[in-house]
Amino acid sequence: MNPVFETVGGNFAISHGRQQAFLATNYLMKRKTQHRQTAIRLLMAALILTPLGSIAAEKKAEPKTKTNPTPFWLPEGERPDPTPPTRSDIPYGTNPKQVMDFWKAESSEPTPLVFFIHGGSWKTNDKNKVTGVKEYLAAGISVISINYRFTQEAHAAGVKPPVKWPLEDAARALQFVRSKAAEFNIDKTRIGASGGSAGACSSLWLAFHDDMADPKSRDPIARESTRLFCAGVLGAQTTLDPRQMREWTPNSTYGGHAFGFNGDPKANLSGFEQFIANREEILPWIKEYSPYELATRDDPPVFLYYSVVPGIGKNQKDPTHTSNFGLKLQEKLKTIPVECHLMYPGASGVPYPDPVRFLIARLKGPKDTKAGSYR
């Protein structure tokens, strides 16, 4: 076979396009007559094949589809590929609500731990709302997520104030985890709390509260510390003082249920109006359970994340999760001082984009002897 035909009749037309095919055909037409019939067939083949060849030759590589990272706030149970706990429903008390899930990071050495408290106004939701599990495990950090008793259950049981149950359950669960440090392979000196909304408030309450350990207790769990190494939270209510809430955000409506005020339809009073009216009477409770009231110089570093910019003294679209809470706490912590990072849209100079990155950096980084020690 003629070597030129062999070249063109193979992948030449596809690889080099119409121009080369016609040049080759021209060449054959000028040769012997017996090649003309071959040349005509070649020309027709070129006309058919060349468009496909041109597309193949000129087709640009399609850009790769970008995969958006999973938002840090997406609960584990809502991820397309959730990570199952290493152990589920571990009891830390006698009530069915007093249980926790545990994700164990693979390590030959004790690992840091994220202690997660779900939100829901202390009235709803579940430990499956935990966030960041994959990221923590990949960084060598284990995770605990707890359930706890709700304020309506405390109210029905006559507990005053009702918020005592969810907050003290969080403290007890933390002590239980420390008592299991060897079994869980965790470093009890490096525990950071996290959560959203009410769970964020609970986390800050633990971060700022004096140690609730009872060294003389016969109960070994009660002898464990409740102090934290750090806390990184989302949408936290930093105060439970209704007067402060109204000063910071005039359309505030949150928090009355935590102290047993659920509204009086007959008197046409909301729970928050009852809360305001009875503030002086319950001030000792506010000072005991409001994170803002508890912050002192020896407290650990905290990271606060909000989805909107602050607007002190202005009504907010979501007054329950306004960044006004974060801004006012940060102002106070600067005067103490306690390290506080505040992130919201447009915030500048914040070294971490979200609570997950903050917790990973702190729990895996060098120990700060000035603040946040498990003290």
Kindly list the domain boundaries of the chain, sorted by start residue: 3-58, 76-364
Cβ(148)–Cβ(176) below 8 Å: no
Task: Please determine, looking at this structure, whether the domain spanning 76-364 carries the CATH number 3.40.50.1820.
Answer: yes
Q: Which two tokens stand for residue 104?
A: 């164990």
Q: How confident is residue 366, by pLDDT bands cut at 50, 70 and 90?
A: confident
pLDDT the model gives residue 65: 52
pLDDT the model gives residue 235: 98
pLDDT the model gives residue 16: 42
* CA 147/CA 57 separation, integer angstroms: 61
Entry pTM:
0.81
Mean pLDDT over residues 318-325, rounded? 98
The sign of the CA dihedral 285, 290, 291, 293 is negative
pLDDT higher than threshold 90 for residue 35:
no
**Average pLDDT, rounded, for the chain:** 86
* CA 187/CA 362 separation, integer angstroms: 14
pLDDT the model gives residue 370: 45
Partner residues linked to 193 by β-bridges: 115, 231
pLDDT the model gives residue 60: 52
CA 88 to the chain's CA centroid: 20
pLDDT higher than threshold 50 for residue 88:
yes
Mean pLDDT over residues 209-235, rounded? 98
Mean pLDDT over residues 158-172, rounded? 98
Q: In what order do the strands lie in the sheet with 302-305?
A: 87-91, 99-103, 142-146, 111-117, 186-196, 230-234, 302-305, 340-343
Mean pLDDT over residues 304-318, rounded? 98
pLDDT the model gives residue 63: 55
pLDDT higher than threshold 80 for residue 175:
yes
pLDDT higher than threshold 80 for residue 347:
yes
Block residue for tokens 């965790």: 186
Q: Map residue 150 onto helix, strand or coil.
A: coil
Q: Which of 232, 236, 203, 193 is nearest to 340 (CA)?
A: 232
φ, ψ at 341 (rounded to 5°): -110, 130
φ, ψ at 47 (rounded to 5°): -65, -35
- Those residues whose C-beta lies under 8 Å from the C-beta of residue 191, and which sit 6 or more positions away, are 112, 113, 114, 115, 174, 177, 178, 228, 229, 374
Tally Cβ neighbours within 10 Å of residue 140. Answer: 15
Mean pLDDT over residues 68-89, rounded? 88
* CA 23/CA 30 separation, integer angstroms: 11
Q: How confident is residue 80, by pLDDT bands cut at 50, 70 and 90?
A: confident
pLDDT the model gives residue 32: 45
- Report helix angle 18-29 to 36-58, nearest 10: 170
In angstroms and rounded to an integer, the radius of gyration of the C-alpha atoms of the chain is 32
